[in-house]
Chain A
Amino acid sequence: MRKIGDLYKKYGTVVSLMILVAIVTILNPRFFTMYNILNIFKQVSINGLIAFGMTFVILTGGIDLSVGATLGLSGVILGWMISTGTPDYIAIGVTLVFGAVLGGMNGVLVSKVKLQPFIATLATMTMFRGITMIVSDGIPFMGLTKNAPMLDYFSQGKFLTVPFPMLVFIIVLAILFVILHNTVFGRGVYAVGGNEEAARLSSIPITKIKTLVYTISGLMSALAGIILTSRLSSSQPTAGMGFELDAIAAVVIGGTSLSGGKGRIFGTFLGALIIGVLNNGLNIIGISAFYQQFIKGLVILFAVILDRKSNA
């Protein structure tokens, strides 16, 4: 039993994902086509990138509720720049920096002003939503990819046969994986979440680390915002509503503890895939909308319970 538990701990999320893929494929073989798999990756990349940033924050024992609002605001800023004639490569660069700054603000509120992350990001979430409305006047920017080939590339581009958003997703995963697991900063992230006081007394720069994780989260949200804007060729002021919950779900399904200090970014990758496969699979199988939400909740619950069992 112990052995099985250990195995599950290591490969449980992968097994869950494989079981899910198998079930959906049996119910409708069209699920398992190259076209649909790439389609899933394109869709997952948005929630996945946000969840990557969220993983850093949650590992420090924090939470970032403002990711969806950051995505919405970044998208609207991008849309505003593009529609006022800013070259798309500049607009994309500025949007990324802008997202990082928004995240950095959260970071400062948490690390320097010492607000509780939940409260701080709840407040900034509301503020960011407000700014989004002010900037856009509630009206979406449309037809953005028409004269912006680089922005268009963010959803429609292909590198060899790999869709560009999927490529971004995988590359960012690789970079963040190295940062989290192989750098001093990454170790510090775990240390802050494991025992902040012990970390502080071990001369770990906790203020810097906390500020940085929220900055990463903001940057990831902005990146996801760019991809979503590109996908829709428009920036919706309401975009990203509720995305924070999907991101948190991906992190938790991936085995990261909400109390911090424990978890892996690869787990989050798998968690995001599970949610993505679930969303897509339920559509592909043709499950009634009434049951979709229930089944989604059930799968999340199941994944988390299995994870706790294997950790016990």
Chain B
Amino acid sequence: MKKITSLLLIISLLFVMVGCGDTETASKKEEQQKIALLMADLGNPFFHVLKDAVENRGKELGYEVLVYDGQNQASKQPSQIEDAIQKGVNAIVINPADESSTANALKEAIAQGIPVVTVDRSVDVDGVLSYLVTDNLKGGELTGKWLEKRLPEGGKVIHMEGIIGTAPQRERGGGFLSVIDPAKNANSKFEILDTAVGEFSMAPAEAAMSDLLAKHDDISVVFAQNDTMAVGVARAIETAGRSDDGIIVIGFDGAKEAYDLIDQGKMSVTAVQDFEFIGSEAVNYVDAFLKDGTKPEPKVLVDVFMSDEK
């Protein structure tokens, strides 16, 4: 009996939730054109910049933007795409969780003539309108060059890596090391003291940095492959009482919390991914295509800029 009651409860709960969703979308105007925005992971605050950019630009151009959150699970996105197609969206802007999971679902959308723009990561499927991505390799190089300028005499560097094997980890790290690592650039005056893995998140980066602070007394630079890790690194330095060591902390992304820490002097710089540009540009491409069939470049690399340079 109890089991049945709880089951009923859960089912009714589901209905309520589904019901809410329906009324929300149904109340919007029928004739308004719709763009589906599929985000890989809104749990990462940084991607909110991208989301907001798409939503704002969409609104400006008169679109309704349906936002889906993939919650960092590649398996969720295909059904979200199907759902979007069902709802009759006119275009899809997707930040895919990986390069293959959504291929079939997107093929279906493309077959129905729905323009697809992928941002930040590509999908292995033909017929995508455009793929907008930060030039991570160039960004890494730019960061390295910034560091060379800042410390012309060189220094001892900790490299905090993201999730091993992902494209941003390889490219940001590769670009940075091509300038800083003496093994790759004979002219470099720097030394790579240690490499640690922070998995692109704060707690592991903080823990790894705490360990490395116990190991080394002479760290002059930490390059973290994203800002979330940089914040963890800065926190570890602060709580270890090593704020006076003058360690230069470099992040990547241009997240709000990084700017805050830069203002407080706990971080030095971050390489800013221009998500505002990427987001609004993606909407522009879609809009142009829907209006007169204009096709943008199939792959557009977007430059980063250092936070203190703009």
Q: Which residues of A contact B (CB under 8 A)?
A: 28, 30, 33, 35-36, 39, 42-43, 112-114, 129, 133, 138-140, 142-143, 155-156, 228, 231-234, 236-239, 241, 279-280, 283-284, 286, 288-290, 292
Contact = CB atoms under 8 A, between A and B. Distances in A.
Contacts of B83: none
Interface string B148-187: 0000000000000100100000000000000000000000
B260 A231 contact: no
B206 A231 contact: yes
Given A283-B215, A284-B215, 20 more contacts: A36-B214, A39-B211, A112-B2, A113-B2, A133-B71, A138-B43, A139-B48, A140-B45, A142-B257, A155-B239, A156-B239, A231-B239, A234-B202, A238-B72, A238-B201, A239-B202, A241-B201, A286-B194, A289-B195, A292-B197
Contacts of B44: 138, 238
Given A232-B202, A234-B202, A283-B196, A138 B207 contact: no
Contacts of A288: 195
Interface in B190-239: 194-197, 201-203, 206-208, 210-212, 214-215, 228, 231-232, 235, 239
Given A284-B211, A289-B161, A239 B203 contact: yes
Contacts, number: 95
Contacts of A289: 161, 164, 195-197
A143 B260 contact: yes
A37 B31 CA distance: 65
A39 B210 contact: yes
Contacts of B6: 113
B238 to A, nearest CB: 8
7 contacts: A33-B214, A36-B211, A133-B43, A138-B42, A139-B48, A234-B231, A286-B195
B3 interface: yes
B37 to A, nearest CB: 14
B69 interface: yes
Nearest to B193: A286
Given A288-B195, A289-B164, A39 B239 contact: no
